Every structure is written in C-alpha cells, then in structure tokens.
Amino acid sequence: MKARIIGTGSYLPERIMTNFDLEQMVDTSHDWIVARTGIKERRIAAEGECTSDMATIAAQRALDMAGIKAEDIDLIVMGTITGDYPWPATACIIQAKLGAQNAFAYDLSAACSGFLYALSAANDYLANGRGKRALVIGAETLSRIVDWTDRNTCVLFGDGAGAVVLEAQDGESGILSTHLHSDGNYLELLYQPGFGSRNPSSPEGVDARLPYLKMQGNEVFKVAVRSLTDVSKEALDANGFSSADVGLFIPHQANLRILEATAKRLELTEEQNFINVDKYGNTSGATIPIAMDEAFRQGLLKEGDLLLSAAFGGGFTWASALIRW
Ligand code: ACO
C-alpha cells in the first residue's frame, strides 16, 4: 500500500510585485536581484486575503482534479509559518471552508520544509492503513512578516498556496520514501523573533522590528546547498536509484543559485531541474506544491516518472521525498 498523489492544485494572488517596484521601496536594483537570486517578480496577497483563503482555493483545485469530495478526506495536514492566527491551526479553518467534516486537521511548523514534513506525516498515516485519503497543503502569506524596509530579505519572498490529494493505493505508484532532518543550533540564522512566548505582544507593544522575519542570507546559503544535496542523495541511495533515474527534481524554490549549485552537485541536467522561482520568489512551505501542480499541468510529470523533491528552511529543517508518479 502506497500513498499516491491523485490531484494537485495551486493558487497565486493576482497582484504582481516586480523588482522595479522594489527599486521604489528600498535601495536595490532589478539587475542585483536577478544576478543574486534569479527572482524577477513575486505575488502579493490582496488586502484582507490571508493564508486560509489562498489554501482553500488550492485545495479545492486539487480535489477537483482528483474527482474527490471534501467529505471523503480523512486527514488535512498543512505546513505553514504564516497561518491566519497563532492558533488554532489554519488547517481547521480550511477544513470548515471546504466542508471536510469527516477529516481531522492540523498545522505543522517546519518553515520551507513544511510541505515535505506534512507529506511525510500524511504518508505515514495512509501507509499504515489508518485512513484512505489526505489533503496535504503548503501555503504562506510571507508578505505580512517581511520587513519591507530591509533590502536583505524583502526582495526574496512572495505569497501563494499549493495542495495535493493523497490516496492509499496498491501498485507501483506513490511515495517511495521521505527523509526528515533538523538542527536547532541554527535558530538565529533564520527566524521570526516576535509574537511567541519569548517576545510576546503586550499592552505596551513590542519592539517594532520583532514581528519580522530575520535572516543571515549568506550563512543560510552555504548550509542549504549542502543539506539539499545530502538529503537528495539519501533518498536516492535508500531506494537504489541514481540521479540519472530521476525524471524531475523539484527543490524548494529559494534562490536560483542554490538550485543550480544543488543540481550541479547531484549531477542533474537543466531539463531535470524544475525552476519557477523567477515568477514567484520564495513562498516558503508553498513552493513545492505550487511547482508540483505547475509541472503536472504542463505535462512534465507522467505516470511512472520518478520525482525527487527536497527542501530546506528555518529551524534549520531539511527534507526529501522520492515519489513514483
Ligand atoms: N539589493 C542590493 N544590494 C543588496 C541587497 C539588495 N536587495 N541585499 C543585500 N545587498 C548587499 C549587502 O548589503 C552586501 O553589501 P555590502 O557588501 O556593502 O555589505 C552585498 O549586497 C552582499 O551581501 P550578501 O548577503 O553577502 O549577498 P549574497 O551574495 O549572499 O546574496 C542572498 C544574498 C540573495 C540573500 C543570498 O545569501 C541567499 O539567497 N541566501 C539564501 C537565503 C534563503 O534562501 N533563505 C530562505 C531559506 S528558506 C526559509 O525558511 C524562509
């Protein structure tokens, strides 16, 4: 019994913010952003539009593709660091919006690795025969935690949502393995200092910078390339495959240079390496399900293809999944 992806969906907000728009906001340039990150534009949620709104649309699109009704879902797992509220789980809000009344729902926090962590949790549940169908979601409204006066970070991120429907099936297709790692020693290289129990909001208010994402980009970069490479090799080795067997590699879309350096170390060709970071920037937990949906709808994923996916993010966390499509 394997958990197989039987539907994919995504949603990107309408508003496009280009690098030229950012030139008007901070001391940066289109050329610098493209040369250092490969990002040309990103999507920004409309006023009042939040993570559950985007995720519900993406999830409904995945359900429609799968031909499954929301009430047939047993489990909703959501990877996000920008839920609608600190609690309760945004997955529960999505459950209500979809009418998935027979499911239980929860969020998990693994930053940019959130979707693969969620996929792993749902896979374990279904592969153990505890349920038949799961909805796995990655969705973020990072524009609400980005410091729009900090050129080191604000040029990198965007908003969006992606989802897949998993079904437990017999046969060759499905998730072959997942591998998860974390190392909490790197906390302060990538985190959001405010609004938790360490730096709570208070009647006096918090330091104006605390609610925003903080990152030491070049330190993150080095560990990211190493970890993405290692966890991808781990997935291939565990299943007796080499990079030549991979039909498509979908890495977390953080930065073109990270993606190219990782693909080079893994000896993957340009054709194997799926890239859309130029259009959407880094949408954290949403990049991989958005990319899966785009790749599938573009005909880049066919039945029997081997899909390798890997992510790296705050925590630090990193993860991979090997999937027979
Ligand atoms: N425009 C112009 N100049 C800039 C900008 C900008 N937007 N941002 C930084 N600079 C400047 C810096 O101030 C610095 O100037 P200085 O030399 O005068 O001090 C110079 O550019 C070089 O800065 P670096 O940080 O060394 O540049 P680097 O080549 O490392 O690129 C970047 C920065 C793009 C952030 C890169 O390090 C990176 O992509 N890191 C990975 C980040 C990432 O992917 N994080 C997400 C992980 S996932 C998650 O969980 C959210």
Alpha-carbon separation of residue 223 from 7, 155, 179, 195, 311 (angstroms): 33, 20, 17, 27, 12
Count of all residues that appear for the chain in the document: 325
Instruction: Calculate how far, in angstroms, residue 224's C-alpha sits from the geometric centre of ligand 1.
Output: 14
First to last CA, the chain: 14
- What confidence score (pLDDT) does residue 211 get? 84
Residue 175, token pair as written in the block: 């998730």
Best CA proximity match to 74, nearest among 39, 112, 101: 101
pLDDT in tens, 209-242: 678 999 999 999 999 999 999 999 999 999 999 9
Domain 176-324 in the same topology as domain 2-172: yes
Query: What is residue 208's predicted lDDT score, i.e. its pLDDT?
Result: 67
How much is the pTM? 0.97
Identify the pLDDT of residue 196: 87
Residue nearest to atom 11 of ligand 1 (CA): 152
Tell me, what DSSP letter sits at residue 72? G
Which architecture characterizes domain 2-172 according to CATH?
3-Layer(aba) Sandwich (3.40)
- Residue 206 predicted with pLDDT over 70: no
Ligand 1 environment, Cβ below 6 A: 28, 32-33, 36-37, 111-112, 151-152, 155, 190, 215, 217-218, 220-221, 254-255, 258, 282, 284, 313-314
User: Which residues are known catalytic residues?
Assistant: 112, 252, 282
| 286 alpha carbon – ligand 1 mean position (Å) | 21
- Averaged over 151-164, what is the pLDDT? 98
Q: Which of 268, 271, 279 is nearest to 310 (CA)?
A: 268
Which residues on neighbouring strands pair with residue 323, listed in sequence order? 175, 307
Question: What is the DSSP track for 209-223?
Answer: TTTS-EE-HHHHHHH
Confidence of residue 203 (pLDDT cuts 50, 70, 90): low
Q: Which long-range contacts (CB under 8 A, 24 or more apart) does 266-271 make?
A: 266/229, 266/232, 266/233, 267/243, 268/243
What is the rounded distance in angstroms from the CA atom of residue 306 to the CA atom of residue 277? 22
- Residue range 176-324 forms a domain whose CATH class is alpha beta
| Residue 210 confidence (pLDDT) | 79
User: What is the model's pLDDT at position 204?
Assistant: 65
* Phi, then psi, of 157 in degrees rounded to 5: -110, 160
Give the domain ranges of the chain: 2-172, 176-324
Phi, psi of 8 (to 5 degrees): -130, 150
* DSSP for residue 112: G
- For a ligand 1 pocket test, name from 255, 275, 287, 288 the mutation site with the most ligand atoms within 8 angstroms of its C-beta: 255
Rounded to the nearest whole angstrom, what is the distance from the C-alpha of residue 235 to the centroid of ligand 1? 30
Question: 51: which residues sit within 8 A by CB, 6+ positions away?
Answer: 80, 82, 83, 84, 90, 139, 140, 141, 161
